[in-house]
Chains A and B, each alone.
Chain A
Amino acid sequence: MKLLARTTAILLLYASVVAVGGTFVYYTVIHRLYYAYVDRTLGRRKVRVELALRKELRTPADLAFWHRIDHNVEFTPLAGNAPAAPGPNIFQDRLMYNTLTGKQQWYRQVAGTEVFRGRAYRLEVRSSLLDGPALLGGIVGAGALLFGVLVGGMLLIQHVLARRYWRPFFATLGVLQQYKLDQHHAPALPPTRIPEFQALNTALGHVLGRHQRLYQRQREFAENAAHELQTPLAILRTKLDLLVQAPGLTEEQAGHIEPLLAVTQRLTHLSRSLLLLTHLDQQLFFATETVDLATVVRTLLGQMAEQLAAGNIALSADLVPSLLVSANRSLIEILVSNLLSNAIRHNLPGGELRVSLTAHLFSVENTGRAQALPADQLFARLRPRPDRLPGSVGLGLPIARQICETCGFLLSYHYQAPGRHTMRVKM
């Protein structure tokens, strides 16, 4: 649930509780006020009746006459002796038949004992009551109307506010979603007048800028280090080239030179791979052209025929006749070459190599260790792995993955059957 929807839901829940509770509180308060008013009015009328009883009325017939004119005043003679003083007022609700409406109806009455002409009477003064459920219904209706207006207004305001005041937030979010560490500049976050979002943007700007600078520095370092290695390597290599020309070179000396040639080769490979990786990371422009992937695969397989033969590896290739892709030729060649040579080098003697190329998928499968490779470490740079071969620099797959990213392909590793490792490039 979205943040705004969540706060709105909580507010709505609270508002409903208040609305329901409020209705009953409101009802009780009005009910009480009304009763207090009715009781006071009844009390005053009773006082007037008592005054009339002492001054105006003469005979019991007058009492009956009053009741006939006003139904809400009634005298009932009581049996027994007259008490010394009038009794206390007793308020109560009662149901009575109303002759005008022809219905049973609630009345409020005050009753007391009066003494008239030496006889005791019970005096009841009444007033018809408001209908309770009708009152409650009215209050609930009015409350519901108010609640509806309140909630509707709130939702509308929140919607408008969310769109207006949260706009900088969504702008920042959009920029962050587009952001990649390897782009050349830290993204510009649009300024906003809302202090919270401005603070957020400033803080993010600092963090992003810092990361960008660190990343840039590290990348430059890798590139410069690789560059600085080229000249010493060039000296090393050319001196070795001259050394092997020495007349009278003995077999023992040659035995010492050979490993030097091999490590020089390895160092060269390492520094070139690092350079290529930093260039790929920098997303330097690589000119694209139309490359026939099928031809590239066939050519490279042809070049690797001797390695296949040396490992006694059976090759089965299922390639479409031609597959044109728009990419940089050198990168495509490095990608295919890395995948194929990996599959050959990590193969078992007498193993199998299956290469297939369809319109959208290039896959290379080789027989190997009967254990899945750790997929998370497979593409890590220079990470020592149990399956690393001696002499390998461990940059082949990271380079392949980076090339795929540059070309918009997807490289993945699959281990579907025991001892069969597959690399797939989805185009």
Chain B
Amino acid sequence: MKLLLVEDEPDLLASLVSYLRAQHYVCEVATTYAQGQEKMLLHSYECIVLDLTLPGGDGLDLLRELQRHHPGAAVIITSARAGVDDRITGLELGADDYLPKPFYLPELSARIAALVRRRHYQGTNLLQVGLLSVDVSARRASVAGQPLTLTRTEFDLLLLLLANQGRVITKGAIAEHLSGDAAEQFDSFEHVYAHVKNLKRKLTEAGAANYIKMVYGLGYRFDASEA
């Protein structure tokens, strides 16, 4: 799976590449408007992660051009420009998602995974991890054929974990994934603990091994192979 990351900030780009490569994506990078333009017109990518403020031009213009040549290309905008109008313009121009900076890497990874899934598997979209199988489009999960009853939040949590298998997802990333900006209102993570605990219980009760591990109070890791 090939991704194009358009980002002018070298440190941030390095983080993206490092995290996403470990997720088994092939990452190409562009750090200027011209580079981005060249690469996105010449090649086709599963998903393009596009920053809006670039040396040499505006990311929104790049997006317009991309839509002219490759209509329907999958694009996630990441931007420090949190203006409401930027978000709306971006989505109107055909971007699939908008992730304001600063974001969590697991969140970006989950959004890329969701986008790629949506593009590739329009009908059935089944994830199989160990005994666990998840039908993403129908929002159903089962362990060894036995259906799980998950709340909306628990299912979202499961998708985040599955998109970042083997990686540590911090509590903050989970909180923001589950409740968006409202997460920032609390410094405590009671709701994260509660949802993870419930999900874990439902999985193990259905006969799955303990896939979800806590890592030193920092966050959680989903690992089907270790269990």
Is A238 at the interface (CB under 8 A from chain B)? yes
Interface residues of A in 210-264 (CB under 8 A from B): 227, 230-231, 233-242, 244-245, 249, 251, 254-255, 257-258, 261-262, 264
Task: Give the Cβ gap from A94 to chain B, nearest Cβ, in Å.
Answer: 104
Asked if A391 meets B217 with Cβ closer than 8 Å, knowing A231-B80, A238-B16, A261-B172, the reply is no
In this complex, how many residues of chain A approach chain B with their Cβ under 8 Å: the count is: 52
A244 touches B215 (CB 8 A): yes
Task: Give the Cβ gap from A420 to chain B, nearest Cβ, in Å.
Answer: 21
Asked if A235 meets B15 with Cβ closer than 8 Å, knowing A279-B83, A337-B185, A391-B187, the reply is yes
| Candidate in A238, A245, A264, A307 with the most chain B CB atoms within 10 angstroms | A238
Is B45 at the interface (CB under 8 A from chain A)? no
Task: Give the Cβ gap from B182 to chain A, nearest Cβ, in Å.
Answer: 5
Task: Give the Cβ gap from B149 to chain A, nearest Cβ, in Å.
Answer: 17
Task: Give Cα distance in the complex from A254 to B219, angstroms.
Answer: 10
Task: Give Cα distance in the complex from A388 to B186, angstroms.
Answer: 13
Task: Give Cα distance in the complex from A286 to B185, angstroms.
Answer: 22
Is B102 at the interface (CB under 8 A from chain A)? yes
Is A284 at the interface (CB under 8 A from chain B)? yes
B168 proximity list for chain A (CB < 8 A): 244-245
Task: Give Cα distance in the complex from A239 to B102, angstroms.
Answer: 11
For residue B194, which residue of chain A has the nearest CB?
A306
Binds A, one of B103-111, B122-130, B134-142: B103-111
Task: Give Cα distance in the complex from A287 to B92, angstroms.
Answer: 15
In the complex, per-residue mask of A329-354: 1 if CB is within 8 Å of any chain B CB, else 0 = 00001100110010001000000000
B179 touches A241 (CB 8 A): no
In the complex, per-residue mask of B38-77: 1 if CB is within 8 Å of any chain A CB, else 0 = 0000000000000000000000000000000000000000
Task: Give the Cβ gap from B155 to chain A, nearest Cβ, in Å.
Answer: 15
A234 touches B102 (CB 8 A): yes
A233 touches B101 (CB 8 A): yes
> Pick the contact of B82 from A244, A264, A275 — CB < 8 Å?
A275
B216 touches A245 (CB 8 A): no
Is B9 at the interface (CB under 8 A from chain A)? yes
A286 proximity list for chain B (CB < 8 A): 84
Is B224 at the interface (CB under 8 A from chain A)? no
Is B202 at the interface (CB under 8 A from chain A)? no
A279 proximity list for chain B (CB < 8 A): 83-84
Is B184 at the interface (CB under 8 A from chain A)? yes
Is B28 at the interface (CB under 8 A from chain A)? no
For residue A253, which residue of chain B has the nearest CB?
B216
Task: Give the Cβ gap from A340 to chain B, nearest Cβ, in Å.
Answer: 8
A244 proximity list for chain B (CB < 8 A): 168, 170, 215, 218-219
B216 touches A254 (CB 8 A): yes
A230 touches B179 (CB 8 A): no
Task: Give Cα distance in the complex from A249 to B218, angstroms.
Answer: 11
Interface residues of A in 285-311 (CB under 8 A from B): 285-287, 300, 303-307, 309-310
Is A16 at the interface (CB under 8 A from chain B)? no
Asked if A234 meets B12 with Cβ closer than 8 Å, knowing A241-B106, A245-B22, the reply is yes
B194 proximity list for chain A (CB < 8 A): 306, 309
B219 proximity list for chain A (CB < 8 A): 244
Task: Give the Cβ gap from B169 to chain A, nearest Cβ, in Å.
Answer: 8
Which residues in A have some Cβ–Cβ distance to B below 8 Å? 227, 230-231, 233-242, 244-245, 249, 251, 254-255, 257-258, 261-262, 264-266, 268-269, 272, 275, 279, 284-287, 300, 303-307, 309-310, 333-334, 337-338, 341, 345, 391-392, 396
Which residues in B have some Cβ–Cβ distance to A below 8 Å? 9, 11-12, 15-16, 18-19, 22, 78, 80-85, 88, 100-106, 167-168, 170-173, 179, 181-182, 184-188, 190-191, 193-195, 215-219
- 10 chain-A/chain-B pairs, Cβ below 8 angstroms: A227-B81, A230-B102, A234-B80, A241-B170, A244-B215, A254-B217, A272-B82, A279-B83, A284-B85, A310-B188
User: Could you list 15 further interchain pairs (A-B, Cβ under 8 angstroms) beyond the known A231-B80, A242-B18?
Assistant: A233-B102, A234-B78, A235-B12, A237-B104, A238-B15, A239-B11, A242-B15, A244-B170, A244-B219, A249-B216, A258-B218, A300-B182, A306-B190, A345-B186, A392-B187
